[in-house]
Amino acid sequence: MLRVLERSPLKNRLLAPLYTSFLLLVLLVIGQECLSILLKVQHRQVFDAIAHSLLVERETEHLLSTALDEQTTIRGYLFTRDREFLVAFKRAKIDFQQTFYRLRTLVQDNPTQLQQLEELQSIHDIWNSEFIQKVLNGDASKTTLPGKTLFDPMRKIVSNMLLHEDIILTRHKQRLSQLNHIDNVIDGLSILAILLGICFNLWLLRKKVEVPLRHLIEVGGAWQAGKMETPLKYSSTDEIGQLARNLNSMATEIRKRQVASLMRTKQLEDLISALSHDLRTPLLATRNTLKPMLNGAFGTVTDTWQEILEEYRQANEDLIELVEALVDVSRYEATGSENLHWEALDWEQIFAQAIARINAIYQQNCALASAIAPSLPIVYGDRLEIQRVIQNLLDNAVRVSPPNTEITLAVVPWHDRIKVSVCDRGSGIAPKDKERLFYRFMQGRGRRGRAGLGLYLCRQIVEAHGGVIDGENNFGRGSTFWFTLPVAQSLSCSTTRNVQEYK
């Protein structure tokens, strides 16, 4: 059976040992039931044999009793000539004959018992012919001792018959005891085999399923943490083994792609950083040249050239802004929060300066309102960088909102943090842009033509402070962009260390 299973396709199945164990348990149960049926048949035969022996003993004793009744009643008739004794004698004689025939039927398969019955019959016939006839004819003497003729020899034969049946009965009882012992042993072995099978199956499940799954969970956690080089160390031909090989192949491929992507990203970042620093100097020089030209430092400028030079200046300013954003992005990606200047943030000052700069840019073409919750907890951060985030969010809000619509800037406590929000009245956030809103070079919400680094830089700044930034649509119209910052007592260990070092 096991060789057949080894050659079958079930060999490579995860639960093949369980199938084999289950099949063996089924065969064991079937075998145990067959043995139980056989033992029941044997028990029935032994019970029948014991009942037969007990019946033979009873009939033998009853035969001796009827012979004694015959002797007693005939003696009573001999001494009294009372007809009642004669009637009782005839009943005892009929009972003797019936008992004899029943006993003869019971022992017909036992030659020894049949021979002893024949001797009993012979003794009874001799006693009947030599003594009973004389009593009935009136020729018998009252001094005759019929027991010497009938009862004493018959008692001896009956004792031999009973002794023989006792031997047979003892043998049957021993056989019954053996069968009971065998039955108990089979039951015990069956229970032991079932318990061993259950323990084996539990051990097998743990080895084949639980242990590999725990290992898979551990390796999955390592993969989730980015450690794709951690392999699944499980080699088997079953389904989990195939899954482990597939996952290892997938992890290897992902690792290769990660390495290639990191290399490309590093090269791109190095290129951007190099270009940003190389472009910044000539762009600043161009700014320093265009500004005096517009002011007439090199001679009178006509209106036409004034417009052309203003366009050049604005384009140059946009490039400078882009280069500075790229430089800042590269700095945050390289150093994180190391270069931040930590101080307790004054929200009134930050809000006032941010609103003033936005009003200066858009020349009062917007309605900015601010709300600062009372009793705000202390928050540490880089004031200029946080103000930069707020200005960027306000700038985006003004760009997407209709002219002179109210834009609300607010800061409130939020769990163990503070929450700063900017609520606009624009068209909201498109669902397709929601997931990638804070990625590099992502443009959305009417920002076509810009670099798409503003929100990404905001995310870098907020995360460097240990916070979170996100955006969501309002129930009415527009959207709300918000970010959170941890309060002083809930700063992360690295952030707290940076604050202490700065102090």
The tokens describing 51, both together, are: 């009942």
Model confidence at 98, in pLDDT bands (50, 70, 90)?
very high
Model confidence at 449, in pLDDT bands (50, 70, 90)?
very low
Model confidence at 444, in pLDDT bands (50, 70, 90)?
low
Within-domain flag for 209: no
Write the secondary structure of 287-317 as one string of H (helix), E (strand) and C (coil): HHHHHHHHCCCCCCCCHHHHHHHHHHHHHHH
The CATH number of residue 472's host domain is 3.30.565.10
253 and 150 assigned to the same domain = no
CB within 8 A of 160, min separation 6: which ones? 116
Model confidence at 441, in pLDDT bands (50, 70, 90)?
low
185 and 74 assigned to the same domain = yes
pLDDT of residue 349: 93
Model confidence at 498, in pLDDT bands (50, 70, 90)?
low
pLDDT of residue 60: 87
294 and 434 assigned to the same domain = no
Within-domain flag for 228: no
Contact 468, 458 (CB under 8 A): no
- Report d(CA 164, CA 272) in Å as an integer: 116
- Report d(CA 380, CA 502) in Å as an integer: 11
Boundary-marking domain end, from 203, 227, 258: 203
Q: How many domains does the chain have?
A: 3
> What would the pLDDT profile of 486-495 be if each residue is shown by its tens digit?
998 655 555 5
The tokens describing 281, both together, are: 């100097």
Within-domain flag for 232: no
400 and 269 assigned to the same domain = no
pLDDT at 33 over 70: yes
164 and 34 assigned to the same domain = yes
Range of the domain at 496: 338-502
311 and 196 assigned to the same domain = no
> What would the pLDDT profile of 241-285 be if each residue is shown by its tens digit?
778 788 888 888 888 887 887 787 777 667 666 766 677 678 777
pLDDT at 413 over 90: yes
In 3D space, the residue among 496, 465, 437, 452 whose CA is nearest the CA of residue 336 turns out to be 465
60 and 98 assigned to the same domain = yes
pLDDT at 5 over 50: no
Which of 68-77, 290-299, 395-404, 476-485 comes out lowest in average pLDDT? 290-299
Indicate the burial class of 378 (C-beta count within 10 angstroms; 0-12, 13-18, 19 or more).
exposed
Q: Give pTM, 2 decimals.
A: 0.48
374 and 490 assigned to the same domain = yes
The CATH number of residue 281's host domain is 1.10.287
155 and 59 assigned to the same domain = yes
302 and 437 assigned to the same domain = no
The tokens describing 478, both together, are: 């527009």
Boundary-marking domain end, from 328, 353, 373: 328
